[in-house]
């Protein structure tokens, strides 16, 4: 069993960077979708791939993994059905100082994938610090209905910017009112 540990919660801007996903099954598919949604260019290296993965906009190399495949990548996912291949991918990625996720043994890599609820750029991501993906999934499902609409977000952003431009004490007063409105909308005490 995976020893629970707290990880660094962080959101990475990797738009335009290259990701290499080794493997072409359902797990590689999930990771490829996540990486594409975050604006990365995704290369898939696998002798065969599932139909849904074929439908995505990736650069597919239809062959087994070779050391050297990771040059120029920012993020690497090892998601083959062979633990020894995944281990080699992780070693190569770590030698290059890259972010790497090992689908067969999360503790070997330095990158875990959270469950995510998202609307209009607001993202709530859950990691359980262990392997309980169904809990992470349930918590983000519960959160989804709390996410504001794009219209609410637009109004709140404009109110904040307007308040920041005001002199004190009006600035603090307007920011306080905005904070109360947001907390009420999300259902937490003001
Ligand atoms: C959140 C999400 C993100 C994502 O994957 O993109 C995610 N798993 C998701 C789905 C999912 N996972 C599994 C199935 C069953 C069907 C299948 O086999 O495919 C399904 C499908 C489903 O449930 O729909 C099985 C499974 N998962 C892991 C193992 C252990 C192992 O392989 O050893 C096993 C096999 C043993 C078992 O059944 O437990 C391990 C991990 N899964 C994690 C994340 C990380 C821990 C997250 C945490 O707890 O914090 C970690 C450590 C991976 C990592 O980050 O390295 C995504 C939900 C996305 C959403 O919201 O829709
Ligand atoms: N982390 C998770 O959420 C999670 C969930 C389920 C399974 N897993 C683990 O993830 C791994 C992949 O699961 P899956 O269901 O997608 O597997 P799968 O068997 O459906 O697919 C494996 C893929 O690896 C490719 N492959 C095999 N040898 C390769 C090589 N040498 N180089 C490149 N590609 C190669 C195959 O062509 C295939 O596309 C397994 O180790 C499984 O235990 C992780």
Q: What ipTM does this complex have?
A: 0.91
Contact 109, 78 (CB under 8 A): yes
Q: Do 108 and 26 sit in the same domain of this protein?
A: yes
At 41-99, the pLDDT tens digits run: 999 999 999 999 999 999 999 999 999 999 999 999 999 999 999 999 999 999 999 99
Q: Do 90 and 26 sit in the same domain of this protein?
A: yes
Ligand 1 shell residues, CB under 6 Å: 26-27, 30-31, 34, 101, 103-104, 106, 112-115, 127-128, 130-133, 136-137, 140
Q: What ligand 1 atom has the least distance to the C-alpha of 129?
A: 50
Domain tally, the chain: 3
Q: Do 49 and 97 sit in the same domain of this protein?
A: yes
Does the pTM exceed 0.80?
A: yes
Structural domain includes residue 1: no
User: How far, in Å, from the CA of 172 to the mean position of ligand 1?
Assistant: 44
Cα distances (angstroms) measured from residue 181 to each of 47, 120, 123, 127, 161: 54, 19, 20, 29, 15
Strands 41-45 and 75-78: unpaired
**Tally of CB atoms within 10 A around 7:** 11
């Amino acid at each position: 069993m995976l020893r629970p540990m707290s990880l660094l919660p962080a959101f990475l801007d990797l738009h335009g960077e290259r990701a290499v996903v080794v493997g072409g099954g359902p797990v590689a598919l999930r990771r490829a979708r996540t990486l594409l949604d975050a604006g990365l260019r995704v290369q898939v290296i696998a002798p065969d791939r599932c139909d849904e993965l074929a439908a995505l906009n990736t650069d597919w190399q239809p062959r087994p993994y070779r050391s050297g495949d990771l040059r120029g990548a920012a993020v690497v996912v090892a998601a083959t059905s062979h633990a020894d291949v995944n281990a080699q991918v992780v070693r190569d990625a770590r030698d290059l100082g890259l972010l790497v996720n090992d689908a067969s043994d999360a503790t070997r890599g330095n990158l875990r994938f959270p469950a995510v609820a998202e609307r209009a750029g607001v993202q709530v991501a859950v990691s359980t610090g262990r392997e309980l993906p169904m809990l992470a999934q349930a918590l983000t499902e519960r959160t989804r209905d709390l996410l504001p609409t794009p219209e609410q977000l637009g109004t709140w952003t404009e109110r904040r910017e307007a308040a920041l431009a005001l002199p004190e004490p009006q600035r603090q007063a307007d920011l306080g009112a905005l904070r109360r409105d947001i907390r009420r909308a999300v259902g937490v005490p003001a």
